[in-house]
Chain A
Amino acid sequence: MQEVTGLFMVATMLRNILGKYLPNPQWVDIVITLINIGAIFTVISLSAVILVYAERKVSAYMQMRIGPNRVGPWGILQTVADMIKLMSKEDIMPVGADRWLWILAPVLLFIPSAAVYVVFPFDNQAIFADLNIGIFYFIAVSSQATLPFLMAGWASNSKYALIGGMRTVAQMLSYEIPLVFSILGVVMIVGSMRMSDIVAAQQQVWFIVVQPLAFIIFLIAATAETNRAPFDLVESESELVAGPFTEYSGMRWALFFLAEYANLFAASAIAVTLFLGGWNGPWLPGWLWFLLKTALMIFVFMWLRWTFPRPRVDQLMAFGWKILLPLSLVNVVLTGIGIYTVKYFS
Chain B
Amino acid sequence: MQGKGLLAGMRITLNRLFGKKITVHYPEEKIPMSPRFRGGELDLAHNKCIACGLCAMACPNQVIELTTRTDEHKKRHLTSYIYHSGRCLYCNYCIEVCPTDAICWDKNYENSRYFRHQLDVDCLAISRGKSPNAVVGTNPDDTDKEEGTT
Interface residues of A (CB under 8 A from B): 58, 61-66, 69, 303-304, 306-308
A66–B21 Cα gap in the complex (Å)? 7
Check if B34 is an interface residue, CB within 8 A of chain A: no
**Residue of A63, A304, A307 contacting most chain B CB atoms (<10 Å):** A307
Q: Are B20 and A64 in contact (CB under 8 A)?
A: yes
Stretch at the interface among B11-19, B52-60, B62-70, B124-132: B11-19
Q: Are B10 and A64 in contact (CB under 8 A)?
A: no
A65–B16 Cα gap in the complex (Å)? 9
**Chain B interface category by residue count:** 10 to 19
Check if B35 is an interface residue, CB within 8 A of chain A: no
Check if B1 is an interface residue, CB within 8 A of chain A: no
Chain A hits for B22, CB < 8 A: 64-65
Check if B139 is an interface residue, CB within 8 A of chain A: no
A308–B5 Cα gap in the complex (Å)? 10
| Closest beta carbon of chain A to B21's beta carbon, Å | 5
Binding site of A, secondary structure by majority: helix, strand, loop or mixed? loop
**Residue of B17, B18, B23 contacting most chain A CB atoms (<10 Å):** B17
Partner of B9, one of A63, A65, A308: A308
Check if B135 is an interface residue, CB within 8 A of chain A: no
| Closest beta carbon of chain B to A97's beta carbon, Å | 38
Chain B hits for A303, CB < 8 A: 10, 13-14
Q: Are A64 and B23 in contact (CB under 8 A)?
A: yes
Q: Are A62 and B13 in contact (CB under 8 A)?
A: yes
Q: Which residue of A lies closest to B19 (CB)?
A: A64
Q: Can you list, as one digit per residue, whether each of B1-43 has a CB less than 8 Å from chain A (1) or not (0)?
A: 0000010011011101111111101000000000000000000
Partner of B23, one of A58, A65, A304: A65
Q: Are A64 and B16 in contact (CB under 8 A)?
A: yes
Q: Which residue of A lies closest to B20 (CB)?
A: A64
Please name 20 further chain A to chain B contacts, defined as beta carbons within 8 Å, in addition to the given A58-B17, A69-B25, sorted by A numbering: A61-B16, A61-B17, A62-B13, A62-B14, A64-B16, A64-B21, A64-B22, A65-B21, A65-B22, A65-B23, A66-B25, A303-B10, A303-B14, A304-B10, A306-B13, A307-B6, A307-B9, A307-B10, A308-B6, A308-B9
A306–B10 Cα gap in the complex (Å)? 9
A65–B6 Cα gap in the complex (Å)? 22
